[in-house]
Amino acid sequence: MRYINGVYYMTSTQNTDISMWAATMVEGIKTATPTVLFTDTTAGRNFDFWAPEFWHLDGRWYIYYAVAGNGDDNTHRLHVLSGGTDATNPMNGAYTHTASLIPSNFDFWAVDGSILELNGARYFIFSGKTTDVVWTQCTYIVRMSSPTTLSGNAVQISCPTLSWALGLLTLTTGANPLLASSWTQATSPVFTKNVAAGLDNFMFEKDGEHLFAYHGKSRPGLGCGDLRTTRVQPFSISGTTPIFPAAIGDGIAVAEP
């Protein structure tokens, strides 16, 4: 989700396409009619479109997403679409498939791609696993030579060792982000007290207020399909550290940003 010139724009996981919602209020996203930005019938990338993120980089909009082929989750790989050049509206312009984003050493299951821009360089961060049997997902990073091209090998920077899921990785100031030793994982959850809270995106603000969007479920046992919902809450920053509130539940009223 992003807030641009008075409008909230949001993408979310869909099975058959990549769609975007737009509204002038967060509440309006619930009733907004989604616009389909992209569908694909190409074998190998035509099913289970997951976790799209849209970024305006080098004068153009790009959407990073994971997709599988023919209903086989094990084939999920990361891809990128190229869109329009209107920085004020990510829905203005057609999106076309530009590239698959497969590191030279990591042609495995990969999802949840995102961008890190640091000291004039750009990196691609994603969640992946190297076996179809074990469900432990680790976090990887790889350098980018352009918004649609990876450069070099992916490096594993974190793997879960605790029972909770949503934590925080901190990069040591001035350190090389391509070294696992440069990252420190928090020893306790940074966001808690709801079911399956995850995939948070806190890259936007409105009138100086920091906001983040994430998905969650109303109770255990609902899987990771359509019964997850998207929630938006404010958060604060102490120095350089984000401070998150407790996750809200379904039906809890929150003031409009």
Average pLDDT per 10 consecutive residues for the chain, totaling 257 residues: 93 90 94 96 92 96 94 92 98 98 96 96 96 81 99 94 74 97 87 55 71 73 64 86 80 78
In a domain, 216, yes or no: yes
pLDDT computed for residue 225 by the predictor: 58
Which range marks the domain in which residue 228 is found? 190-257
Residue 41: left if φ>0, alpha if ψ -120 to 50, beta else—which one? alpha
Intra-chain end-to-end CA distance of the chain, in Å: 14
Residue 245 lies in a domain: yes
Q: What's the CA gap between 31 and 23, in Å, rounded? A: 9
The predicted model scores a pTM of: 0.91
Predicted confidence at residue 71, as pLDDT, reads 77
Which residues, including other chains, have CB under 8 Å from residue 77's CB and lie 6 or more apart?
45, 66, 67, 68, 100, 101, 102, 107, 109, 110
Rounded Cα distance, 149 and 62, in Å: 12
Count of structural domains within the chain: 1
Whether 164 is in a domain gets the answer no
The answer to whether 124 touches 151, Cβ cutoff 8 Å, is: no
Q: What is the pLDDT, as a whole number, of residue 196?
A: 45
- 176 lies in a domain? no
What CA–CA distance (Å, rounded) separates 232 from 242? 15
* Domain annotation covers residue 15: no
